[in-house]
Structure 1
Amino acid sequence: MVYHMETCRYCKEDWAEHIGIPCEELEKKDETKIRLAFEEKMTEAKIRVCHRCKARFTKLDGCNKMTCRCGAKMCYICRKPEIDYIHFCQHVRDPGRGCKKCKDCSLWTNPDEDEERAIVELKKEAQTARKEQGYTEDKMIGASFSPVKKKRRVER
């Protein structure tokens, strides 16, 4: 049995996916796999999973000592289970500044900044993987990250 498949005569990609898109703008199948794998990693960078009940959650605000509805505790930054406040840096420092005396997790951090930092690293890793596969164009992987800034209401 012979199957006929319509492909582009220049780049050999499936014509049904290609129609109306120039060859240089078409995302190749291997390229799609790379993009999807890293976009999945970006999603997982934002979501935490309880080590006891497997509930999935994210942090909007508050400290990094997370307590699940099942009672399990974990660090939001490093995801280490069964922690207490001693897990976090005990040194006095300016708010929003990292500790210069230890590498312990900070009790208070901005979750948007933490997630943005992780996503930037994953995007760099994805671009490196694309280049290793021979893709040179800098196509965007993942959505652009622009956290929503909350406005404070001032009462007069």
Structure 2
Amino acid sequence: MDSQLRLILDRVASTADFACVELVDVNATNVMGDNALHCVCLWGDVEAAKTLINAGINIDQFGERGYTPLHIACMAGHIAVVELLVAHGADLFAQSEGDLPFTTARLGGHDAICDYLSPLMTSIQASQRSVYIKSRIEQLRREISRLESSLD
């Protein structure tokens, strides 16, 4: 593992959410499903995000409440991180517990992010009319799976 990647993972491991997680793999997650990219997106650390993406981290990992790293970057208002994630293929239609990344940006009052995402989403919807419905179905499947796993 490269030294820059190790420094980022050690920084993530020092947070409360990852205190009990052995970050020996770039795609390791905490009990909520968050990976290291969720943390660096919250911090707004573009360089750390680039390093993790280049190391092969799952850019669309569903974490706590179904949030992907893009949801987190949108919620936190870090447009440079949002642009980086989108450039690397982050799913604009990934749904958390029903919210798209765009919605988390709107709820956070991050209009510049909404202005950036809106035409991209419109373009995707023009070529893939059912993209939102497919995304919603996937979100519901994840929720059913989570509920089934909690049954005795």
TM-score range, shorter chain: under 0.3
Instruction: Look at both structures and tell me which one has the larger radius of gyration over its CA atoms.
Output: 1
Instruction: Provide the TM-score with structure 2 as the length reference.
Output: 0.25
Higher strand content, 1 or 2: 1
